[in-house]
Amino acid sequence: MQVAVIGCGYVGLVAAACLAELGHEVICIDSDSQKIEALNHGESLIHEEYLPELLQRHRGKRLVFSSDLAEAVRQSAVVIIAVGTPSDATGDADLSYVETATQEIANALNGYKVIVEKSTVPVRTNTWIHRAMVLNGCSPSDFDVVSNPEFLREGTAVTDFLYPDRIIVGSRSNRAAKIMRELYTGLVDGSYSKTTTAIPSPDPAVPAALYLDTSPETSELIKHASNAFLAMKISFINAVSVIAEGANADIEDVRVGIGSDKRIGMDFLQAGIGYGGSCFPKDVSAFQAIAKACGTDFQLLSAVRHINEEQLDRFVDKVRKTLWNIKGKNLAVLGLAFKSGTDDIRESPAINVIRRLLQHDCQITAFDPAALERTRDLLGDLITYADDPYSAMANADALLILTDWKEFASLDLARVRSSLRYPIVLDGRNLYEPTPMAEAGLNYYSIGRPPVEVALNSLVRTKTAKIS
């Protein structure tokens, strides 16, 4: 099938590469000519597992990159809109990029097309796209608009696309519904996973995706409700972590006790410094605006947002209380991306913690396996950038772990102890168990668990012994 994907961002680029992997002929379009040039020269642009492999496999064959949207539309049977929908000043989704793409599609229409909205959009955007097509001179018989939301997690987006839990398609046309099912045949019947060159499936993998045909409005609502619910789980466990600290309980055991209930599950039930990224903050805000437009005050979402913001302040307060005074202190930070597996720093809790700390005139040296350059573009020389974790913590007054990279969970703790000026570790992602930290001689402060201050007690005992 001939497919055009408008937008070479996280969603568009992954979708284009994966659709080419499924055997379709794909043109990926972006108005940024420098981005197109970089992609045509073999760059991946984003840090995403398996994406470089797919781009190398299909670039110039089943996958091409272009800035000519009109020509791509003319050549394609399916046109996917995957442009950004950032929040505006009121919290609503900014749909100006979607509108511009729609107008350009309408101007290039040369026969029947299925127009797919894959960007995260408010309910009834499908109707507005259809209306805009007609207002721009298109006959309703020459197109159908389908809602097909993405459920991709940054860091695992390729396997999420190729081994999905579900595929949601909202349409009003049997013709469009049939074409969309054909688009995803290899995923619906499980045949893709049986090919010899298939990207390895995650464990556990869903052998064949649930395919749900529904209305466009229902499809749009599913996407926002899904993200809001996941954000709610994160905020819930973070709120419980505050109670756990006050009660001298262990949030990790609480999490296991709660998450082992199959009705609840372990996913997104990890206490930390809160959610971030390009989806959850924007989508929770947009969903709240949608609820208001539909006649209800979704107060639960206000609490979700408040808890998430408060969690950042709590962690900064923990740093201040632990160090007594942080003005002039040298702090080592591990983690800049909003989560592991990506270089995305949009709404990153790590970056937001750093901004708050900088207000207290401390010095920060940071390391991240993937997000250094993006952070350098954002923060410039406000912080120092290290080449590896141990360089970041050299002679630092404390170590802060802010992103859940696997390599940060397997540090040489003896080396950490010898690198730091003071044996203090503040873990915003609960990557470590308290016992190994204590055995390494480190004072350890995490989220929702009692502090470990054996190293401090040891220092006190040593000084007392010397005096006596």
| Residues forming the active site | 279
Q: Which residue's entry shows tokens 């995260």?
A: 120
> Which tokens belong to 245?
């600290």
Q: Which residues contact 462 (CB under 8 A, 6 or more apart)?
A: none
Query: What is the rounded distance in angstroms from the CA atom of residue 47 to the CA atom of residue 14?
Result: 11
What is the maximum alpha-carbon separation in the chain?
A: 93
What sign results for the dihedral spanned by CA atoms 364, 365, 367, 370?
positive
What's the token pair of residue 279?
């989806």
User: Which residue shows structure tokens 């990890």?
Assistant: 270
Q: Quote helix, strand, coil % in the chain, to nearest 5.
A: 45, 15, 40
Phi, psi values for residue 400, rounded to 5°: -115, 125
Residue 17, CB-side half-sphere exposure with 13 Å CA sphere: 30
Q: Which residue has the tokens 């099912």?
A: 181
* Strand residues in 298-367 grouped as ranges (E): 330-334, 363-367
- 267-270: long-range pairs with CB below 8 Å, 24+: 267/233, 268/230, 268/233, 268/234, 269/233, 269/234, 269/236, 269/237, 270/234, 270/237, 270/404, 270/429, 270/430
